[in-house]
Amino acid sequence: MVHHTPTSVVTIERFIIEQERLHPEATGELSGILYDLALAAKMIANKVRMAGLADILGATEMHNVQGEVQQKLDVMANEIIIKAMDHGGRLCGMASEEEPDIIQIPEGFRCGKYLLLFDPLDGSSNIDVNVPVGTIFSVVRKITRSTRGEMEDLLQPGRRQVAAGYVIYGSSTMLVYTTGQGVHGFTLDPSIGEFLLSHPNIRIPDNGRYLSVNDSYEQHWDDHVRALMRRYRGLDGDRRALNVRYVGSLVADFHRNLLGGGVFCYPANAKSPRGKLRLLYEANPLAFVVEQAGGAASDGATRIMDISPTELHQRTPLYIGSKSEVELANEMLSGVPSAVGA
Ligand code: AHM
Ligand code: MG
């Protein structure tokens, strides 16, 4: 005899609706943004999966605002997100790592009260070798009185984010997000094209397992950073050595450390005095996620989400992961024991 157990399958749509019900004042606009992002993620996942087959790999002739060669898939992912998000009436502006200025909502479309900041395809230099890439996103509320979003609306400190998350296009596609009520992860079931709740209420282990850092920059680090890395590796002091894992694709490195504990570091160095990663498109959204999972994120002295941005494409050093590991970075780099992510 076959026993049918009641289904416990929770789609992302159902989850978002249930979360929204917890807030009677919610207008549904934020939920709409999250649905649209989930749709964009599915479309990008398709492109990424087909990359080798469709002959869309390789660099375009264009260079993006950071001066890096754009991969074709970056351009596509950027377009997909803009097209999926610009007409819903929920956003009044966007900013992308791949675009120099504010992305305006086209004439004729309604403007809403939110702004979206995103890195459409992070780690795209890894695409040619089949390493996971990701999309990172952040949602803030408009603070100016103008109908269309202005620069001031985009340059808000990370603590003002109302939602943030990422999509990882790995062996499976996952969408992980927070709206300030914990961190939840959904895995794409490709057979039905739905994101299903697979990782409710993710908590980052406090005893870190992994250290992720590109130590080919060691010669350019200052002595404090070098000393910190020795501590993480268990070479000085009595700390257990962390295991080194570095994909070179931030979303993949972050996701592994979120589930397994540890710390991802992209320190400042003599050649890149502000590090490499972007405050608004990479550091802030992942900082919101990690704090909601019980972890912390800092630039070595200041909590990432307390930094007041001054420009759209600003870079920041980044130490992100389990609380105790990030606290050690703060102590050793700024000399001030601090309670980041409190
Ligand atoms: P991108 O936004 O141009 O793809 O660059 C960001 C990527 C991150 O995914 C990754 O953590 C970092 O660059 C790796 O940089 P490096 O090769 O200097 O270690
Ligand atoms: Mg990036």
Q: What percent of the chain has pLDDT over 90?
A: 80
- Summarised one tens digit per residue, pLDDT across range 24-81 is 788 889 999 999 999 999 999 998 988 776 555 555 666 666 666 556 889 999 999 9
The preferred substitution site among 249, 276, 320 for testing ligand 1, maximizing ligand atoms within 8 Å of CB, is 276
pLDDT score recorded for residue 71: 61
The predicted structure's pLDDT at residue 61: 60
Per residue in 256-266, pLDDT (tens digit) is 999 999 999 99
CA 63 to ligand 2 centroid distance, Å: 14
Contact 157, 308 (CB under 8 A): yes
Domain boundaries, the chain: 12-199, 210-333
Q: With a 6 A CB cut-off, is 142 part of the ligand 1 pocket?
A: no
Ligand 1 atom showing the smallest separation from residue 126 Cα: 4
The pLDDT of residue 4 is above 60: no
Q: How confident is the model at residue 340 (pLDDT cuts 50, 70, 90)?
A: very low
> Does ligand 1 lie within 6 Å of residue 215's CB atom?
no
Asked whether residue 249 carries a pLDDT value surpassing 90, the answer given is yes
Per-residue confidence (pLDDT) for residue 50, from 0 to 100: 81
pTM of the model: 0.92
> Domain 210-333 has what CATH class?
alpha beta
What pLDDT, on the 0 to 100 scale, is given for residue 60?
A: 61
What is the structure's pLDDT at 67? 62
12-199 under CATH 3.30.465.10, yes or no: no
Answer positive or negative: Cα dihedral of 26, 155, 148, 107.
negative
Nearest-CA residue for ligand 1 atom 5 is 123
Task: Give the residue, by CA position, lying nearest to ligand 1 atom 14.
Answer: 248
Higher pLDDT, 68 or 152: 152
